[in-house]
Structure 1
Amino acid sequence: MKHSLTISGNHVNVSLDGKIYAHDAGIVRDELLEVIDRGATDIRFDLSKLSYIDSSGLGVLVTVHKRTVEKNGKLVLTGVQGMVAEILKRTRLDKVLHIE
């Protein structure tokens, strides 16, 4: 999986590409929690190039969502499609997370 972070003030754009598994999820989680702890409150994930997400990837989304809410911020998912959309629906995370 490839990922990139673009930080502008308290806004962070995260782009994920490929398939996210446990090892990659831990790296992304740690980077984002560090950025949030430095003051970022609004996180936008672009998942348009993500073809698969496992439970550890879902855990990253939930953890980042909880941390941003604690900081009076928000997490937004964009480009959700295919298998990723199906997994979010099956886990009912589409009811919890903001998807555009």
Structure 2
Amino acid sequence: MKHMLTINGNHASVSLDGKIYAHDAGIIRDELLAAIEGGVTDISMELSRLEYIDSSGLGVLVTVHKRTLDKNGKLVLKGVQGMAAEILKRTRLDKVLHIE
């Protein structure tokens, strides 16, 4: 899995490529939670190149979603497609998370 995090003021952009498993999810979670604690309130995630996300990756999305809401911000998922979109639908997270 490859990822890139860019922070600009209170906004962070993240792009995720490949497959997210438990180890990768922990790294991403730690980076995003540190960004939120540092003042980031709005996060956009580009997922068009994401091939697969496991339950720990889904947990990161839920955690980041809740933390941004706590800061009066939001998490936006962009470009969700393929297996990642199917997993979000099957878990009904597509009803909870903001997907563009």
Question: Shared fold (TM-score greater than 0.5)?
Answer: yes
Map 1:44-83 to 2 at 5 A.
44-83=44-83
Deviations 1:27-83 (A, max 9, x none): 000000000001000000000000000000000000000000000000000010000
Separation of aligned partners in 2, 1:88 and 1:3: 20
Amino acid of the residue matched to residue 51 of structure 2?
A: S
When the two structures are superposed, what TM-score results if normalisation uses the length of structure 1?
0.99
**How many residues end up aligned between the 2 structures?**
100
Separation of aligned partners in 2, 1:44 and 1:89: 19
Q: Indicate the SS of the match to 1:15.
A: strand
Amino acid of the residue matched to residue 78 of structure 1?
A: K
Separation of aligned partners in 2, 1:49 and 1:83: 11
- Equivalence for 1:85: 85
Separation of aligned partners in 2, 1:5 and 1:55: 21
TM superposition outliers: structure 1 runs of 4+ over 6 Å: none
- Equivalence for 2:15: 15
Separation of aligned partners in 2, 1:74 and 1:92: 18
When the two structures are superposed, what TM-score results if normalisation uses the length of structure 2?
0.99
Separation of aligned partners in 2, 1:38 and 1:93: 27
Unpaired segments ≥5 residues, structure 1: none
Separation of aligned partners in 2, 1:88 and 1:78: 13
Amino acid of the residue matched to residue 88 of structure 2?
A: L
